[in-house]
Chains A and B, each alone.
Chain A
Amino acid sequence: METGFHLYCLLPASRVDPAEVRGIDGREVIELHVEDLGVWCSPCEKSPAPDLDRIRAHDRVIRGASTETVTALPFRFGQWFAERSTMESRILGQAPHYREALDEVAGAVEFGIRLEESTEGSAMKPSEGQTSESEAAAVTGAGAGAEYLRRLAREREEREIRYSHGESTLEELHRLVAGFTRKIRVDPVAGRGSIASAAHLVPHPRIEPYRDALAAFMKDRVALELRLTGPWPPYSFADAGTSA
């Protein structure tokens, strides 16, 4: 009986054995071959809804597909096909791009960095586009509207200064780690509480010097905090060759 497939990742075929990892909901993970590409997937009758356990399992399978020399190309959660033939034809249609992306990420991992203002930081820290309830309550009476608008304008200006500072700091950091990264992706939106955010693709042999470079960058900086997460599978670089 035909069943659907939930996809985890792509990698060069027959290089890593999927038998030792379990997929979402404890399902078995199998490798289907599309020419020289291996597709790690779990037979799955219908598209699984995302929840925390499944998301973690999805990530775990992708990590299990990677070694120091083979780096799997992650599928975004939710890639499910009812028919194997449809899945194969879709992958076949983009196979040159996937091969290019696999070459690009081979032997490398992703690190995520976020630059944030130090918690001891500046007076600009509280403004994140919202006025607190107590502030809003204090704004009453004649002239209150004008004062409220001035405050919004001031907060917007402070935000712009902060993000501009984040961009220039990030550029400085990227110059420092350029020799240890294969590729860098800067997030256009840093996210709540951050002033800059980026993903770095780092080859395995350069991980330690990369960390050392980040540590050197942060030395003596008191107004900034650096959040480093990883190593991750190369989620942020999986669209290499297919992105516009």
Chain B
Amino acid sequence: MDALTPETDGPLADVALVELLNRVLDRGVVITGEVVISVANVDLLYLNLSLLLSSFETLDSRTGPGTGAS
């Protein structure tokens, strides 16, 4: 395979997939408060800030004083 052929299928499809994920989730115009974090261009962690905050509030309420949680 020509090294300069766009690699969208075949044995190097993983390369193109990683590139796709890296672009769609980590690049482009951002106008809302959602955050995508990529690690080594492969492992992707998607954080919705509002979801994270609400989850934290839920967790906080469950582990707050009187719940007995440590």
A residues touching B (Cβ–Cβ < 8 Å)? 7, 10, 47, 49-50, 55-56, 58-59, 73-81, 87, 90-91, 94, 98, 101, 112, 114, 189, 191-192, 211, 214-215, 218, 225-233, 235-236, 238-239, 242
Contacts and interface: CB of A to CB of B under 8 A. Distances in A.
B37 to A, nearest CB: 12
Nearest to A87: B31
A217 to B, nearest CB: 10
A235 B23 contact: yes
Contact of B20 (A59, A76, A226): A59
Given A78-B36, A79-B34, A236-B23, A229 B7 contact: yes
What 8 pairs between A and B have smallest CB-CB spacing?
A76-B28, A191-B41, A235-B23, A235-B27, A74-B28, A78-B34, A192-B40, A229-B19
B69 interface: no
Contact of A226 (B3, B6, B12, B46): B3
18 contacts: A47-B34, A55-B21, A56-B20, A59-B24, A73-B29, A74-B29, A78-B32, A81-B32, A90-B32, A112-B19, A112-B23, A225-B3, A227-B7, A227-B15, A230-B6, A238-B27, A238-B28, A239-B28
Q: Residue among A81, A90, A112 with the most chain B CB within 10 A?
A: A112
